[in-house]
Amino acid sequence: MTDTSITTTNLTNPTIDVMNSHVSVRSFTDEPVSDEMIDTILDAARRAPTSSNWQTYSIIVVRDQETKKRLAELAGGQRHIEQSQVFLAFAADLHRLGIAASIHGVKPARGLEHTLTPVVDAAIVGEAAQIAAESFGLGAVMVGGMRREAAEVAEVLELPEQVFVVYGMSVGWPANDPRADGLKPRLPERLVVHRDSYSDENARAMIEEYNRELAEFYDRQGRNTDASSAWTGPLARGSVNLRYATLRAALDDMGFRFD
């Protein structure tokens, strides 16, 4: 199913169709996902561009049930991690950069840009993996909850210094039709795509309209939501405090710098 609410043109192709059918899947069957399929997905994802070709990411492929169970707990009790056939942890990795630089007797500097670079690389390769997985009909959901207890996650996955999991991804065969109620609406194009220069004209009205659209979507799922706050309500409540209060200290300890 293509999301007609976000397509603004009729032009399409199989890649565009896969992308326009995206939905996060959090419930999986017991059907195995072969190593060959995961390897194919990750081979394709690894074609993703990276900053200066530094390739400052690592992917930890987790199939061990106990490890998935522990990661599910650390993510705040996200059951789909345990239920997934494969859990992929996308890590920002400066450790390998250090090894490469040591060949020339130098150490990479630590600072904000060298923290953002691997985070962006990890984000890009993970999205590529999600598209590749969905192109096989697999379901997947990204798990930012990996940053909730970043130090413990690093311990469980035996990560060296200067490697942390930016987010993970539960992967498996969808247990039910994840598109049965349609796809989660997106903000209107005019609100997020700016032509030549930024504009927030009518932003508030468009956001209020999006509240109503999202409430209709949740209604179809049997979740009764207030049409005046379906999007903005949880966002307002969830954004007043920083999520993952221990993250900054944990990343500092792991060798990532923010100055």
Ligand X SMILES: Cc1cc2nc3c(=O)[nH]c(=O)nc-3n(C[C@H](O)[C@H](O)[C@H](O)COP(=O)(O)O)c2cc1C
Q: Does 83 bind ligand X (CB under 6 A)?
A: no
Yes or no: say if 31 and 173 are a contact pair by the CB < 8 Å rule: yes
Q: How far apart are CA 156 and CA 68, in angstroms?
A: 10
> CB of 207: closest distance to ligand X in angstroms?
16
Paired residues of 61 in beta bridges: 88
Q: Which stretch binds ligand X (CB under 6 A): 13-21, 22-30, 97-105, 189-197?
A: 22-30
Under rule CB under 6 A, residue 78 binds ligand X: yes
Token pair of 114 as six digits: 């060298």
Smallest gap from residue 143 Cβ to ligand X (A): 4
Q: What does the CA dihedral 86, 91, 96, 97 come to, rounded to 10 degrees?
A: 150
Cβ count near 31 (within 10 Å): 10
Residue 89 as a binder of ligand X (CB under 6 A): the answer is no
β-pairing, 139-143 vs 57-62, is unpaired
| Nearest distance, CB of residue 146 and ligand X, angstroms | 8
Among 33, 48, 62, 141, binds ligand X (CB under 6 A): 141
Helices (H), the chain: 14-20, 35-45, 65-74, 79-83, 95-102, 112-135, 150-156, 189-192, 203-220, 232-239, 247-254
Segment interacting with ligand X, rule: CB under 6 A, options 131-139, 141-149, 219-227, 246-254: 141-149
Q: Is 171 an interacting residue with respect to ligand X (CB under 6 A)?
A: no
Cα separation of 101 and 54, whole Å?
11
Measured from each CB, the residue nearest to ligand X is: 144
230 contributes a contact to ligand X by CB under 6 A: no
Stretch that binds ligand X, among 50-58, 105-113, 138-146, 249-257 (CB under 6 A): 138-146
Say which residue the tokens 């192109």 belong to: 135
142 counts as binding ligand X under rule CB under 6 A = yes
33 vs 72 by CB, closer to ligand X: 72
In the complex, minimum distance from the CB of residue 148 to ligand X, in angstroms, rounded to a whole number: 8
72 binds ligand X (CB under 6 A): no
Which residues would be at the binding site for ligand X (CB under 6 A)?
22-24, 26, 78, 141-145, 167, 184
